[in-house]
Structure 1
Amino acid sequence: MSDDAYSSFLDKANSDLNTGRSQQGGGTARTETVHTNVKVPAPLQSVDAYYISDTDEPFEPVAFKWEGASKGKWPSADQFSSLISPSADLSGSIETLSASSFDPKNQYASALHAVRAAAVEEDSGADQSTVDLKIYRVELSSTKIEYWVLALEPAEGRLVGLRAKSVES
């Protein structure tokens, strides 16, 4: 094979790969985990836990400004979609889970504990066990799922927690 033929072969192979990516992965919305100028609570910065799926991914800290937090109000699917992905409407692919259905085998107790700890002020003396958690399951594609383990943090008007990416084939 000549150098020109080989070069042409490589160009074609690379262009096919890029085309395939835009068709398959281009439709997958990107989500963000921390709003600008919103501080991530300390308990979320040191979580060393992985969500187990086809690919084991680390839990990532989440911190959003959310006015409803100070009123004890959770975001609806539409509101949550605009928080995590301002450029794409994901509301049709969002469902909520209970903590027990998200973690039936108690594999993620340290992650759930960190989210509860992040929702209460360190010096308030509040009981972390009373903090409600909500898990949003966001289906980005037929195999890419994100789990958002969240708590309301009323004092700062934030939604705080952890995001886990999952590949489920």
Structure 2
Amino acid sequence: MNDKDYMEFLNKANEIDFQSNRTDKFELKSLDQNLEIPEVLQKATQEAYYISDADEPFVPVVLKVKDGIPDEVSFAELVNHPEPARAQVRIMDTNRWDPHGQYKMIIDSVKQVTRNDQIRVYQIFLSNTMSEYWLVGVKDEFLLGVKAVAVES
């Protein structure tokens, strides 16, 4: 088997594995209707990927929020989790989520768009091996930032 065939084989295997882990039961909301995505977030997410077992792109998050940065249950409600009270959500700071500075550009973009250094990372578990990381902050009455799917076996 030559290198090209081997790479095609690996890519196909990863695609099948990723699809089998995906949950089709629900999709979490990351953008409220009639809200514009800030240019800073559009640019930051153009070529940015979260590196895991399946490298997935970062996508912008723009949601209306009341009462500032949400707790775990409020966050699950905000993103339309089907069972917010039972959702597995973990909150962490950016240093714990990115201890090696690999996502500094993404973090800086979220800080810039929120004009706030208080950025949180929410990890919401979708299955045993799949979760979404939401890097967000609050500006005015909006939760702004990015999210990415992570597959971690």
Normalising by structure 1, we get a TM-score of 0.71
CA distance in 2, matches of 1:86, 1:140: 10
Amino acid at match of 1:168: E
1:168 matches 2:152: yes
Amino acid at match of 2:37: V
CA distance in 1, matches of 2:32, 2:80: 11
SS at match of 2:87: helix
CA distance in 2, matches of 1:140, 1:30: 10
Deviation at 1:134, TM superposition (A): 0.4
Contact 1:49 1:110 in 2 (8 A): no
The aligned runs of 1:137-152 (5 Å cut-off) are 137-152=123-138
Contact 1:77 1:91 in 2 (8 A): no
Stretches of structure 1 that go unaligned for 5 or more consecutive residues are 1-22, 121-129
Deviation at 1:63, TM superposition (A): 0.4
Contact 2:133 2:149 in 1 (8 A): yes
RMSD: 2.0
The verdict on how the C-alpha distance between 1:90 and 1:162 changes in structure 2, with shifts beyond 3 A counting, is farther
Q: Which residue matches 2:73?
A: 78
Deviation at 1:32, TM superposition (A): 1.5
CA distance in 1, matches of 2:111, 2:58: 15
Q: Which residue matches 2:34?
A: 37
Deviation at 1:66, TM superposition (A): 0.8
Percent identity between the aligned chains?
29
Once structures 1 and 2 are overlaid, which stretch shifts more, 111-120 or 157-166?
111-120
Contact 1:29 1:88 in 2 (8 A): no
CA shift digits 1:39-88 (9 cap, x unpaired):
211100012211000011111000000122xxxx3111111111112544
Contact 2:76 2:87 in 1 (8 A): no
CA distance in 2, matches of 1:94, 1:35: 20
Normalising by structure 2, we get a TM-score of 0.78
Stretches of structure 2 that go unaligned for 5 or more consecutive residues are 1-19
Whose Rg is larger? 1
